[in-house]
Amino acid sequence: MARRGYGGELAKIFAGLLLLVLTVIGLAYGSLLRQMDQAAEDYNRGDVEGALKRYESIEQRLRSWGAIRLIPAGDRRNLILNEAQLLYAEGRYDDALDRAERENEISGATTDGRFILLRGEITFRKAVKNYRESAKKDPRLLDEALRSAEDNFRDSLRLIPNNWDAKFDFEYINYLRSLMNQSGEGQMKILMENVRVKQLPPKTLTPEQQM
């Protein structure tokens, strides 16, 4: 009887410790989610840099805890995507692409169409920027980059067919490429005009909720 009672006490102690650990984890994770909401508020106030720093701090904390692969996939994707989108908004295209690739490093190959859409946006922006800044305008290199962006937009549409941005971008780049093929003059006109600057606010919904 004494041994059975002792075992019961140990079980209660273990259960209590487990509950305490789960409570601490829950509180810490809840705090991170609130910080993500605060980062979105920073962005809405026009503080892009502040929002980016807050997101990066959250990711750094998760990685220091070894928890970046353990949190819900939807929250992780939103976190990484938001960082990449804010880097894109700042014109840091290579950094934005590298940040987005972190999701592939974790999941293997993301099936979230928002990442593929962003990749297409970055590819397009870099193509226009490189062409404008190049001393020797090479239409073949430009067309190759635009075709790559077009492929990304097409792939994103397969995953998020109801996403308005994906539809617009796919149709827009088709329009650009058709004009480019008409004449050299049309090509120069397209690339010298102010193309659309896309605003990409931080997301708080999961990909399933956005469809």
Measured CA angle at 132 (ends 127, 134), to 5 deg: 90
The amino acid at residue 133 is E
**Integer CA distances (angstroms), 148 to 113, 116, 117, in order:** 16, 11, 12
54 with 39: CB under 8 angstroms?
Answer: yes
Assigned CATH topology for domain 2-210:
1.25.40
pTM of the shown model: 0.76
In this predicted model, what pLDDT tens digit does every residue of 42-83 receive, in sequence order?
A: 787 878 888 888 889 888 888 887 877 878 888 888 889 999
Q: How confident is the model at residue 29 (pLDDT cuts 50, 70, 90)?
A: low
Indicate the domain borders of the chain.
2-210
Which of 94-98, 100-104, 106-110 bottoms out in mean pLDDT, i.e. has the lowest? Answer: 106-110
In the predicted structure, residue 2 carries a pLDDT above the cut 60: no
